[in-house]
Amino acid sequence: MKHPIEQSYMDFPILRDNRDYTYLDNAATTQKPDVVLKALQDYYTQCNANVYRAIYRWGEESTRRYEAAREKTAAFINAESPDQLIFTSGTTDSINLAAATLCRHLIKEGDEIILTEMEHHSNLVPWQIQAEYAGAVLKFIPVSESGELDLAALEGLWSPRTRILALTHMSNVLGTINPVKEITARAHSRGVTVLVDAAQSVPHMKVDVQDLGCDLLAFSGHKMYGPTGIGALYGKKELLEALPPFRGGGEMIRTVYLDHSEWNTLPHKFEAGTPNIAGAIGLGAAVDYLNSYGMKAIEQREARLTEKLIAGLDSLPEYKLFGRAENRGGIAAFSREGSHSHDLTEYLDGRGLALRAGHHCAHPLGRKLNALSTCRASVSFYNTEEEIEKLITALLQAGEHIL
Ligand code: PMP
């Protein structure tokens, strides 16, 4: 049974069974509702068999559920067709696939790739690796004091050698929502291919790939109430068709000879080997679950919780919030004068609050902000206003407990 969104924590066994513990690390991963757990259990107990290969009822049913999950997930981001949704193990895997194949397809020595200073390591390190192989040059859109991209500076970065621009939709540290549609339009006017890291946006707002206009978009199932080990890469059809395969193996081929092979059609060309069948089916159930509340209701609920969180942090003079973007999601990184973020987070755990501490996989941004280690609270619609108040009260009282 589904609950009103204010009580949606009741849809999650781990949350309803632990009402004295408050989970505010949703940017790292989210909890799983009953419907997702049931989809996994049903798959393994009703029709576990490998996809595509089996001409018997369990194999046909597992293939049907796997492809239904692809259809739901593709529709969730408004992809033109399910064939344009490649299942991967998550955002990191999607970006590694994209970086390797795009660089092979597009980059010649001396070509340029534009990234931003606020990228998660997952949207930075794969480009560093591929740029080194291909002889490409990386350039970076700077981040301003307020935690926003300096779009005026972007104009100075373009050159006739710019081929690719890759950026995050929502920063996992600052909460900033970047103007991806506008940046994509600017890139396309110069013939530049755009990849969007949507790990933090797809779970929390309506993401429409056709409206954004991006060429590729990556996201993770586990951050959107689905299982770990599943995610997706969306791509424009002509681009995916033109890209070389990433991994070789079963299912991604049409015909194999001893000295060469011919590739399967989309999306199979990029799904070598036995895929994460259960994970994909669980992700499909997560998509159904999100749709049952609707992304608009989820966005509004999280905006309210975020407003309360930011106002609460601002009411505490000894705390500093990093990131003041006007357009932001429910992520707040902060530090307390004179305290180490690990000490603060350990204290909060003792008060029944789960928050993140550290560099949040964004070393360059931490260096830029002069804050390599911060605390981070990140909300989901299943959090409550009382939980935000509990955090602010605990932070207020931290001085009595830690230096
Ligand atoms: N990009 C961003 C913005 C993220 O927040 C994360 C996860 N913290 C990732 C990429 C990587 O996602 P995953 O670990 O699921 O591959």
The CA-atom distances, in angstroms, between 202 and each of 15, 91, 225, 323, 350 are 22, 11, 11, 20, 32
Domain boundaries, the chain: 5-31+294-400, 37-291
Cis peptide preceding 227, ω within 30 of 0: no
CA of 89, closest atom in ligand 1: 16
Q: Distance between CA atoms of 158 and 138, rounded to whole angstroms? A: 11
In the residue annotation, 47 being an active-site residue is answered as no
Measured between alpha carbons, how far is 256 from 231 in angstroms, rounded to an integer?
Answer: 28
Q: Which two tokens stand for residue 267?
A: 């999306």
**Active-site residue, selected from the candidate residues 47, 103, 214, 361:** 361
Residue 61 Cα to ligand 1 midpoint, Å, equals 32
Q: Separation of 361 CA from ligand 1 center, angstroms?
A: 8
CB-ligand 1 contact for 220 (6 Å cutoff): yes
Closest by CA position to 295, among listed 85, 5, 11: 5
Name the CATH topology of 37-291. Aspartate Aminotransferase; domain 2 (3.40.640)
5-31+294-400 with 37-291: one CATH topology?
Answer: no
| CATH superfamily membership of 5-31+294-400 | Aspartate Aminotransferase, domain 1 (3.90.1150.10)
pLDDT tens sequence across 162-207? 999 999 999 999 999 999 999 999 999 999 999 999 999 999 999 9
128, two tokens: 């560093």
Between the CA of 91 and the centroid of ligand 1 the distance, in Å, is 6
Within a 10 A sphere around the Cβ of 378, how many other Cβ atoms? 29
Q: Which of 377, 368, 364, 362 is nearest to 321 (CA)?
A: 377
The H or E element that residue 197 is part of is strand 193-197
**3 state SS of 351:** coil
- Tell me the per-residue pLDDT of 54-93, one tens digit each, with 9 for 90 and over: 899 999 999 999 999 999 999 999 999 999 999 999 999 9
pLDDT for res 3: 81
Q: Which atom of ligand 1 is nearest to the CA of 360?
A: 8
pLDDT confidence of residue 403:
63
Position in ligand 1 atom list of the atom nearest CA 168: 3
Query: What is the distance between the alpha carbons of residues 193 and 180, in angstroms, rounded to a whole number?
Result: 13
Give the count of beta carbons closer than 10 Å to the beta carbon of residue 9: 22
Per-residue pLDDT of the chain (403 residues; tens, 9 = 90+): 668 999 999 999 999 999 999 999 999 999 999 999 999 999 999 999 999 988 999 999 999 999 999 999 999 999 999 999 999 999 999 999 999 999 999 999 999 999 999 999 999 999 999 999 999 999 999 999 999 999 999 999 999 999 999 999 999 999 999 999 999 999 999 999 999 999 999 999 999 999 999 999 999 999 999 999 999 999 999 999 999 999 999 999 999 999 999 999 999 999 999 999 999 999 999 999 999 999 999 999 999 999 999 999 999 999 999 999 999 999 999 999 889 999 999 999 999 999 999 988 999 999 999 888 999 999 999 999 999 999 999 999 998 777 6
